[in-house]
Amino acid sequence: MLKTFLDRTEKGLQHLLVLCGGSLLVGMTMLTGANIVARIFWEPIRGTFELMGYFGAVVTAFALGYTQKYRGHIAVNVLIQRFSPRAQRLLNSFNNLICGLFFIVVTWQMNLKARGFLRTEEVSETLRVIFYPFTYAVAVGCGFMAMVFLFDLVRDLLANWGERP
């Protein structure tokens, strides 16, 4: 029952973030194409570089949890494979705990940074765009990454010592 709740929650948030990130990626592609055409026939679109940086940060942050869920990150487990299955499970649980805690701290720090940008009303140099929403979006992506690690930890604990997944 708990595993079903974790799976549904994770999958729903994952779909939302992937949809938002994918939409931004399409926007980035269209803006890049428009900028190339504008350069050829007239002059480049002002602020393209700025927007690519902001959108790229959000797209990357929103993809973190999805990539972790489907094990798309690079993993070097040559050493881990030499341990017994039980030791491997324990190390995996420990890794999920440490990584989850790390991304909780990153999320917290990103929120503090975004709050500072909001308070000071800081804007970008070229387009004068407020950028605290982008910082909050990165915090959301990092928070989802922390959630994926911690949900995996709970699943590991349930599989090893509690209900069967």
| Domain boundaries along the sequence of the chain | 2-160
What's the CA gap between 103 and 149, in Å, rounded? 9
Convert the pLDDT of each residue in 46-77 to its tens digit.
Answer: 888 888 999 999 999 999 988 888 776 766 67
> Does residue 156 contact residue 89 with C-beta atoms inside 8 Å?
yes
pTM of the model: 0.83
- Computed on alpha carbons and rounded to an integer, the radius of gyration of the chain in Å comes to 20
Residues β-bridged to residue 130: 123
122: tokens are 């800081």
Give the residue, 143 or 82, on which the prediction is more confident.
Answer: 143
Nearest to 104, CA basis, from 156, 152, 150: 150
H-helix or E-strand containing 145?
helix 132-161
What is the SS3 assignment for 84?
coil
Convert the pLDDT of each residue in 89-138 to its tens digit.
Answer: 888 889 899 999 999 999 999 999 999 999 998 888 888 888 899 999 99
Nearest to 145, CA basis, from 54, 13, 3, 23: 13
H-helix or E-strand containing 143?
helix 132-161
